Amino acid sequence: MSMSPHWRPASVHCQPCSIDYEYYTATETADEDSVPILQAMGAPDSLRLPHTHVVPRQMETREYYAQIPRRYVKKLIKLYEEDYLLFGYDIPSLDSLRS
């Protein structure tokens, strides 16, 4: 897939089905998820990742998607569908993103 790695689906970029990862984190909970990783590394207990993930308001998200033609939103959902499934996210419907 020839696209910027910043936008490439994680399922392609990280190959979670091909690599036996010992740990994985979710962006939303990386501060909590990192604790056992830091402990395994022997880091001091005082070392913690800051909580930096901010979830956009639902209305804000809809406002962004409302600016994108419906056919492109459908393509985006399809492009990231495997990521939604692999990482436990609900696959959004067009109506939920654009209403």
Q: What is the pLDDT along the chain (99 residues), one digit of tens a residue?
A: 578 888 899 888 888 778 888 888 888 888 889 999 999 999 998 998 887 767 666 677 788 888 899 999 999 999 999 999 988 888 888 887 765
Res 76: pLDDT: 92
Angle at 30 between CA 23 and CA 64, to 5 degrees: 125
DSSP 97: H
Could you tell me which of 15, 53, 10 has the C-alpha nearest to residue 34?
53
Res 55: pLDDT: 67
Res 42: pLDDT: 95
Residue for token digits 């939604």?
Answer: 84
DSSP 27: G
Q: Is the pTM of this model over 0.85?
A: no
* Gap between the Cα atoms of 21 and 77, Å rounded: 26
